[in-house]
Structure 1
Amino acid sequence: MPFRFRSSDTSVEEGFRRIACERLDEALALLRSGEAPPARIVHQLRRTCKAMRGLLRLVRPAFPAYQTENAAFRDIAAMLSGARDSAVLIETLDSLIDADEARQDWAMLRSHWAAPGHGAAGAMAEQIESCRAPLLAARVRAPTWALTARGEDAILPGLRKTYRQARQAMRALEAVSRTPAAAQASHAWRKHVKYHGQHIRLLSRLNPDLAKRRLTRTDRLGDLLGDRHDLDMLIARLPQDGGLLSDPAAAAQLAALAHQRAEALARKAARPGEALFAEKPSDFAANWAIPPRRR
């Protein structure tokens, strides 16, 4: 189902509940079928948790249960994080390896990260199963979720807040660029960009042309920052595992290349970021007014 409010929704609250129930139904159906590979199920469940947290953030100022429900989906996602970390490290390392013989030593590091894979299927299955009960419990609660505001008052404060946070996170990253704090600042910006993109999808019917343009940019920016985050995760792991390499210089060489790629991605992200977050939050939010008959 499309992740957005519909013109047929009788109220923001009704659309909020409908979207939540549809996403949770899809996740539970995936669990029941048992047909998809475990890695795909983990990926889809993590996407569901991110989408649900984005939905909750949109109505956060008008949703008294926000803290409880957001924590529930954060905890479900945390159950699945270990299943993905090794795969991300390997994929990122593979993106750095080329035919240079001097870098063949990195294969030892890859083998180490891949070693847990022999029992990963069973561990992944356990992690997936652990998500079933909390997802079902959330599905039971979702039809009762209530908002304390209607129409624009239910969505524009949350929209402005997430936009403002993304804008501030971009400036914060600029302030610490090329310092050890840049990795954490980049991750924070990526998180807020992702939430902002989810909000644009949710509200796309209110301004289709603007939504289409912004989604193209937010998706591109999210991909750049996501690749940067994967590189930062590899860099952070090297002090722990780099000693496994037979040549001590290989770890330093790998870290230097990862830093170089990360900085290149940061430069690429700057332009779409400036284009997306040039407006003041109040000016940006004015583009998403709800027609009177749908409030």
Structure 2
Amino acid sequence: MSFTLDPDRPFDAAVRKVVVSQLEDAIRMLKKQPAGIHEAIHDARKKFKRVRGLYRLIRPAAKDFAREENARIRDLAKTLSADRDAAALIECARYLRLNAADGNADMALARLEAVLIARRDATALSDDALQKKAKAAVGACREAIAAVEKQDFDERKPEKAIAKAWRKQLAAAHVAVMAARAEATDENFHELRKEAQTYWMFCSLVAPVWPTALKAKRSDAKALADLIGHEHDLSVMLVLLGGPDAPELPEEARRICRDQALTLRSRLRRQAVKAARKVFDDEAEIESAIVKTLWRKRGWQGQG
């Protein structure tokens, strides 16, 4: 289903349609598992992120509900996270191999990948345990659907609620960009990634009222979030390689893997800051005011 709010529908109906469609998609994935349980969990977690993004956007129209449901979906995603975290490390090792400086680096990274795969297989939950988690997640999704179907949202001025959330989010993004430029820490880039993820979801949800601009902004913000996603995985990898639970590798291979991860992460961080300055170029007050005006005009047209 399309991840957009329909400004021509009553606000209640528009919100419910998006939430229900995303959660029903997650339920289908977790039940049918066309590509296996692991991929089903990965895809369902993507749907959960989208629902949480929507609840951030409409929070001013139903503060308590949005806060409580955001927490529900967040906790639901966490119940399915352990297996995904191990898979992300393996994907990170493969990403490093694609960017390996030379044959020696590729061989060291190949050893790292093999060790990470063996570790995942040794510690992974059984299929029965994963199926139980998936079944419980389906139940939680149904509870979340029931909650949104009972909720009444403030429909008097939805454009005001959207603009308020938009202004707050974009202002936070500007702060995150400045922090990442000032100090390249894991925490600062993690925060910048969250702001980019939220922004691309906001742009997607509101795109019908400003299609050309918001679709372009969505694309740029999504690319930024993906870029910092690789940066985040590299940061997690570096913590692992330097910690007490580091994979068992020859010291030289470990050193090469760390050097490769550090070099690539530095490059990605420079690219991310440059891209973020473009993505979050507009003033929060101005952009939110434009969104507010366009939503209000579209709503009036839909009522006429």
Q: TM-score, normalised by structure 2?
A: 0.88
Report the Cα distance in structure 2 between the residues aligned to 1:32 and 1:245, rounded to whole angstroms: 39
C-alpha deviations, 1:47-82, integer Å up to 9, x for none? 111001000000112212122111101011111111
In structure 2, what is the Cα distance between the partners aligned to 1:28 and 1:102? Answer: 42
Q: Which moved more, 1:95-104 or 1:124-133?
A: 95-104
Partner of 1:124: 130
The 3 A distance-change label for structure 1 pair 152 and 124 is: same
Residue equivalent to 1:194: 197
Which position in structure 2 is the counterpart of 1:242? 246
Alignment-derived partner of residue 5 in structure 1: 5
Instruction: Write the distance in 2 (CA, Å) between the matches of 1:243 and 1:65.
Output: 43
Contact 1:228 1:266 (8 Å CA) reproduced = yes
Instruction: List runs of 5+ in structure 2 lacking aligned partners.
Output: none
Which runs of structure 2 are paired with 1:123-272 in the superposition (5 Å)?
Answer: 123-148=129-154, 150-177=157-184, 182-238=185-241, 239-242=243-246, 244-246=248-250, 248-272=251-275
Q: How big is each residue's C-alpha offset from its partner over 1:207-247, in whole Å with a ceiling of 9 and x where there is no partner?
A: 0111122122112111211111111111111123436112x
Amino acid of the structure 2 residue aligned with 1:94: R
CA contact (8 A) 2:96 2:109 kept: no
SS at match of 1:244: coil
Pair 1:22-2:21 in alignment: yes
- Match of 1:78? 78
Paired residue type of 1:183: D
Which runs of no fewer than 5 residues in structure 1 stay unpaired? Answer: none
- Percent identity reads 25
Q: Please state how far the C-alpha of 1:280 moved relative to its aligned partner.
A: 1.8
Amino acid of the structure 2 residue aligned with 1:29: R
Deviates more, 1:216-225 or 1:283-292: 283-292
Aligned partners of 1:243, 1:120: CA distance in 2, in Å?
19
| Cα distance in 2, alignment partners of residues 102 and 162 from structure 1 | 41
Cα distance in structure 2, aligned partners of 1:3 and 1:87: 26
Q: Within 2, Cα distance between the matches of 1:242 and 1:28? A: 36
Q: Is the 8 A contact 1:6 1:15 kept in 2?
A: yes
* 111-120 or 205-214, which deviates more: 111-120
User: Deviations for 1:135-177, whole angstroms, at most 9, x for unmatched residues?
Assistant: 1111111111222453212211111111111121111111212
Distance 1:44 1:103, change over 3 A: closer
| Contact kept in structure 2, 1:59 and 1:155, CA below 8 Å | yes
Q: CA deviation at 1:184?
A: 1.5
Q: How far apart are residue 256 of structure 1 and its match? A: 1.9
- What is the CA distance between 1:101 and its match in structure 2? 3.6
- Report the alpha carbon displacement of residue 263 of structure 1 after superposing the two structures with TM: 1.1
The aligned counterpart of 1:60 is 59
Contact between 1:173 and 1:189, CA under 8 Å: does it hold in 2? yes
Give the deviation of 1:194 after TM superposition.
0.5
Q: Which moved more, 1:121-130 or 1:35-44?
A: 121-130
Aligned partner letter, 1:52: V
8 Å contact from structure 1 (residues 207, 287) kept in 2: no
Compute the TM-score of the two structures, normalised by the length of structure 1: 0.90
Do the aligned residues in 1 keep the contact of 2:45 with 2:77 (CA within 8 Å)? yes
Paired residues for 1:73-112 under 5 Å? 73-97=73-97, 98=100, 100-101=103-104, 104-112=107-115
Count, aligned residues: 289
